[in-house]
Structure 1
């Protein structure tokens, strides 16, 4: 079917996005702009013809033919034949219909990977500190996806593995480590020679600005008052204050980890799963 599609030279192509990151659009109302939406806007190609490919892997290791798997997400008409088309003995591709969750997680993992790199360097690779950070950041990721999707896929299997490998050995984690070690400075920007664009920096800004909007306020179950969604995400808040406004030094990420008033990550997940937080308008959908 794909071969016929190109042979006939139909004018509307299929695009596979490898981009990871998001932007926030605050006017006329807050909404998230994912890479596939950006591509659709820029090209005029319908979103049904734009797919997302990602997974728990490192690009350089795939290039070296290390065994890996990935998911291609989007409209069923194209994702199923494309999954078969892309599959190789060392690169297994599955198809999935939840484009939103995968793109949002693709952006979020880079946000939290920067913090993971900072924590690793500042604690001399403490396994305990890194695991505490992992628990907190994954609970924030789950909370955020419940704002953007009515029934998001659970952070498990390939989605969780994708987050794990990015926090372990992605360019954003490397960037966080280098900042903490003094090998790089924030003044050098987020485009690093030999590494390319550090997508997590702009994603920190995008997610923070979006989730700070009072119009998106959700009811805090304990304080019994409406609060901006970002108030449920202390790690994201601290990353913004360290990387974007630069109000705090890099070491402040450890203060966010060690806050004695911090909720059990399980509580944040339960709040997301038991309260009606879904905001269709964030993706330009009408309730």
Structure 2
């Protein structure tokens, strides 16, 4: 597929997992010069020789405009030659990778375009990605950073199935630039300026997907899931409002769109964790055999600390935390949620 864009971008994608690989392929397929950082030599060789990722999206043949590099993290000299950096690294590794890149040493007026696609909350600090960027790289870098989020399974993106996402930044100009980079008829981008809301939604939906999976694993059907997803959206919005996010963000692609997808599909890693917990498997065994990271497990711990700090009413999140970290059973979780007292339906959902 050729691009109708006049200028080819030099793009570095950090991480060769599902989402990083699919976005690297997407950008390479529209005639950008794309490099993907891989941590293992055998993955580099497979990409460069056979145009395949041996660990993720194994059935897909990747664009010939895509070159794998590594295993060392690219140095500042290489980074400074790139027009765009796409960070698909797990949130828990984000700070160390940013510090190793030394982006704060680059001329702030000539920074590469920065796009972050990871979803989560840093354990220990309970920081969102925007806050981690500010601490690791400075406020100027954080201000121009952009965040891409929404209902977007990698396996469907590489098939060029229609996908729609939110692109957010505190700088509308930088959000628009990232949206223009990614936007195609099969990959539509919508811009907003609420990165805190987008980040909270992207992180929290993984926790609620675990709850939805538990519901399915216990044998509950469509009524239960619809109610659970709706009340999860109410909780997400309540938490977002407490952190000064725009409540309307939670009705966007990054909010209800991603929540609905993750809570209703067996392709979701987090839904799968919950489903298997509902079937009686141990969390330890599930994580050992899952084959990839389910960020909702770590996020539940950090998010629980955040809602406790602000004394927020978030019973679904609280019981998922207890299930994952305190030994509560799936049946206990369901019983506790079903026995909650009545409340005003829209309580705490507006600013």
Band the TM-score falls in, shorter-chain normalisation: 0.7 to 0.9
Aligned partner of 2:129 in structure 1 is 35
The 5 Å alignment of 1:82-93 reads 82-93=178-189
C-alpha distance in 2 between matches for 1:191 and 1:103: 27
**Helix, strand or coil for the counterpart of 1:271?**
coil
Task: After TM superposition, give the deviation of residue 263 of structure 1 in Å.
Answer: 2.5
Aligned partner of 2:158 in structure 1 is 63
- Residue 305 (structure 2) pairs with residue 209 (structure 1): yes
**Unaligned runs of at least 5 residues, structure 1:** 27-31, 217-227, 275-287
C-alpha distance in 1 between matches for 2:320 and 2:342: 16
- Residue 338 (structure 2) pairs with residue 242 (structure 1): no
C-alpha distance in 2 between matches for 1:154 and 1:82: 19
Q: Which residue, out of 101, 106, 112, partners 2:197?
A: 101
- Cα 1:87/1:150, change in 2 over 3 Å: closer
Aligned partner of 2:284 in structure 1 is 187
C-alpha distance in 1 between matches for 2:82 and 2:333: 53
- Residue 250 (structure 2) pairs with residue 152 (structure 1): no
C-alpha distance in 2 between matches for 1:176 and 1:96: 31
**Unaligned runs of at least 5 residues, structure 2:** 1-6, 11-79, 84-105
Aligned partner of 2:24 in structure 1 is none
- Residue 122 (structure 2) pairs with residue 23 (structure 1): yes
Which whole-Å deviations, capped at 9, do the CAs of 1:78-134 have from their partners, x for residues lacking one? Answer: 11122112112211112111111000000010010001000011025x111112212
Of the structure 1 ranges 235-244 and 106-115, higher mean CA displacement relative to structure 2 is found in 235-244
If asked which structure has higher relative contact order (CA below 8 Å, sep 6+), I would say 1
Aligned partner of 1:252 in structure 2 is 332
- Cα 1:43/1:157, change in 2 over 3 Å: closer
Query: What's the TM-score, normalizing by structure 2?
Result: 0.64
C-alpha distance in 2 between matches for 1:73 and 1:96: 5
* Contact preservation (8 Å) 1:191, 1:197: no
Query: What's the TM-score, normalizing by structure 1?
Result: 0.77
Pairwise CA RMSD of aligned residues? 2.7
- Residue 256 (structure 2) pairs with residue 175 (structure 1): no
